[in-house]
Amino acid sequence: MKAPKDLKLSYVKDTVIPYMKELTKPISIGRTIEYLGGYIHSQSLASAIPPIVLDPKPWDTVYDATAAPGSKTTQIAMLMENKGTIFATDKADRLRALRSNISRLGVLNTVIKAWDAKKTFPFSYNKALLDAPCSALGSHKYAWERLTPGIVKTLSLVQKDMIKAVFEGLKENGVLVYSTCTVTYEENEGVIEWLLENFQNAKLEPINLPIPAKDGEGKEYSDIKHTKRISAKDAGEAFFIARIRKV
């Protein structure tokens, strides 16, 4: 957040996103002076994409519904030049990590609150990010070992409750970005198709990404092609992303 524009790090190289750098050697980022001083944060390339798709501006009010530990909240704050307002919420026991990153990185435009994302947030907002809890099959190789159809079904029901609540609180003409770090249809395109089926005023918008991605594949809606799937090979972990406007 406070990094000087000419900050040079000897252990990174450039990526397609100017402010994202790739490690050239394995180091403990969390022990570097740049990290402790709040100049840098560690995040995969894929994880940086949802805030870019949200495209927050300094005058926006953003609701980041499942925000901890705050990788995307702090990136959103940076994109908003630390102006406007972000409501960053999560479960109460997850707020410590969120607070720590927000304070370390010098974020000043964010209100942190414990909130159940399945309930409509009491303040209005014109942009929202729902980086939903998911089966994490795109980021944790051990997640496959504990996977059952029951887990995916339960998660998809939670995700539908959350996307409904977040979409209902969004101002007209506002934008919601939905993302997960998993690969199942039920948690990705399935959640978006459910939203389109239940809310006539939800419209998918095309997404242009700076990294390779595949179009999402649905069962009901041709517009589902506007959703994107990023592979772990291209971006460190697999991600699904959808951009929805409330018309």
Ligand X SMILES: C[S@@+](CC[C@H](N)C(=O)[O-])C[C@H]1O[C@@H](n2cnc3c(N)ncnc32)[C@H](O)[C@@H]1O
Which residue, 116 or 223, is less far from ligand X as judged by CB? 116
Distance in Å, CB of 233 to ligand X, minimum? 20
Distance in Å, CB of 133 to ligand X, minimum? 4
Site for ligand X in 97-116 (CB under 6 A): 116
Q: Which of 112, 117, 202, 238 binds ligand X (CB under 6 A)?
A: 117
Taking CB under 6 A as the rule, does residue 169 contact ligand X?
no
Q: Which of 72, 226, 228, 246 binds ligand X (CB under 6 A)?
A: 72
Q: Which of 1, 41, 52, 90 binds ligand X (CB under 6 A)?
A: 90
Site for ligand X in 40-69 (CB under 6 A): 66-69
Q: Is 134 a catalytic residue?
A: no
Which residue, 129 or 195, is less far from ligand X as judged by CB? 129
Structure-block tokens of residue 176: 């919601």
Taking CB under 6 A as the rule, does residue 133 contact ligand X?
yes
Stretch that binds ligand X, among 23-31, 90-98, 213-221, 231-239 (CB under 6 A): 90-98
Which residue, 90 or 193, is less far from ligand X as judged by CB? 90
Sign of CA dihedral 45, 212, 144, 227: positive
Options 49, 129, 181, 241, the catalytic residue: 181
Instruction: Please give the single-letter amino acid code of residue 51.
Output: P
Q: Which of 71, 109, 110, 182 binds ligand X (CB under 6 A)?
A: 71
By CB under 6 A, the count of residues binding ligand X is 15
- Distances in whole angstroms, Cα of residue 214 to Cα of each of 11, 56, 185, 238: 31, 24, 14, 11
Structure-block tokens of residue 231: 């592979």
Cα–Cα distance for residue pair 199/193, rounded to 1 Å: 10
Stretch that binds ligand X, among 12-20, 30-38, 86-94, 218-226 (CB under 6 A): 86-94
Structure-block tokens of residue 214: 């595949």
Residue with tokens 């309930």: 119
With helix as H, strand as E and coil as C, how does 172-221 read?
Answer: EEEEEEEEECCCCCCCCHHHHHHHHHHCCCEEECCCCCCCCCEECCCCCC
- Of 167, 159, 246, the closest CA to residue 203 belongs to 246
Sequence-distant (6+) residues with CB within 8 A of 113 are 87, 88, 89
Instruction: Please give the single-letter amino acid code of residue 216.
Output: G
Using DSSP's 3-state secondary structure scheme, residue 171 falls into: strand
Distance in Å, CB of 200 to ligand X, minimum? 26
Cα–Cα distance for residue pair 226/177, rounded to 1 Å: 12
**β-pairing, 239-246 with 170-180?**
antiparallel
Distance in Å, CB of 110 to ligand X, minimum? 13
**Which residues are catalytically annotated?**
181
Residue numbers at the binding site for ligand X (CB under 6 A): 66-72, 90-91, 94, 116-118, 131, 133
